[in-house]
């Protein structure tokens, strides 16, 4: 079937990652799902971003089978697949090892909502997962990574905070499209850098007042949003 549309969207998003500063070496990947077809396209494992072409994107079904492509898919494919199973409104997933977000993940610290830049994108703190157990690590590691992400969102809406910090590992972000998912991954890294500098200047800083947080989030994402153009 070729799935040209998601191949092209996936390839373009992966090729964007180096320009955003979100990746070093080949530490990152983007996937894009076609819900109607029940498959997603994802970056092939270990291939440099500048060398990527749409035809190299690997097509994987929601059971984990490679249905098109001659290259091995990203080793993180099961994590993406797990998120697609549960977060049914997302259309794309981005995983990076962006440096400031990784610092929070390694410190086992949620990214706090300290300012309006953060609340323009995330409705509150970006959660950090728990550490995985030895049994989870030695089992289906990448699938279990997806499960601890889902666990971190129990009772909350992943579309209102479209990112997570995996303990000791790094960030995942998502959106309705690959473009939006990369945008959220970049916003996460920017907010992480701002938070680190803010905390360095004032270790006793408190989170943004709820009224201001809600104002900024809802004017951009609420049902009566008025940010941007119609």
- The predicted structure's pLDDT at residue 46: 87
Tokens, residue 79: 């994590």
Cite the active site residues: 120, 227
- Work out how many domains the chain is built from and give that number: 1
Confirm whether 230 is domain-assigned: no
Per the structure, the complete domain to which residue 168 belongs is given by 4-221
Confirm whether 227 is domain-assigned: no
Confirm whether 143 is domain-assigned: yes
Confirm whether 229 is domain-assigned: no
Phi, psi at residue 183, to the nearest 5°?
-60, -45
Tens of pLDDT, residues 60-70: 999 999 999 99
Tokens, residue 50: 């500048």
Tens of pLDDT, residues 170-196: 999 999 999 999 999 999 999 999 999
User: 17 near 98, Cβ under 8 Å?
Assistant: no
How far is C-alpha 181 from the geometric centre of its chain's CA atoms? 6
CATH number for position 100: 3.40.225.10
Confirm whether 124 is domain-assigned: yes
Confirm whether 85 is domain-assigned: yes
Confirm whether 226 is domain-assigned: no
- The predicted structure's pLDDT at residue 51: 87
- The predicted structure's pLDDT at residue 86: 97
CA-CA distances (angstroms) from residue 53 to 4, 13, 29, 146, 203? 11, 11, 14, 27, 46
- Nearest Cα to 153, choosing from 221, 106, 87? 87
Question: Sorting pLDDT into bands at 50, 70 and 90, what band is 157?
Answer: very high
């Amino acid at each position: 079937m070729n799935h040209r549309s998601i191949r092209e969207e996936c390839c373009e998003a992966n090729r964007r990652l180096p320009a955003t500063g979100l990746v070093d070496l080949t530490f990152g990947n983007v996937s894009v799902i076609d819900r109607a077809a029940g498959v997603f396209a994802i970056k092939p494992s270990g291939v440099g971003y500048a060398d990527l072409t749409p035809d190299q994107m690997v097509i994987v079904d929601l059971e984990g089978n490679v249905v098109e492509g001659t290259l091995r898919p990203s080793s993180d494919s099961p994590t993406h697949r797990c998120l697609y199973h549960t977060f049914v409104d997302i259309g794309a997933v981005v995983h990076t090892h962006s440096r400031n977000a990784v610092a929070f993940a390694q410190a086992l610290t949620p990214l706090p909502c300290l300012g309006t830049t953060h609340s323009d994108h995330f409705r509150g703190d970006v959660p950090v997962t728990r550490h995985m157990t030895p049994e989870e690590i030695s089992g289906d590691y990448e699938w279990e990574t997806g499960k601890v992400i889902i666990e971190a969102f129990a009772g909350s809406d992943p579309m209102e905070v479209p990112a997570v910090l995996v303990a000791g590992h790094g960030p995942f972000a998502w959106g309705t499209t690959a473009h939006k998912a990369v945008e959220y991954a970049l916003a996460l890294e920017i907010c992480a850098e701002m938070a680190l500098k803010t905390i360095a200047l004032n270790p006793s800083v408190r989170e943004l007042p709820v009224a201001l947080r809600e104002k900024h989030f809802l004017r951009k994402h609420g049902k009566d949003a008025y940010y941007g153009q119609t």
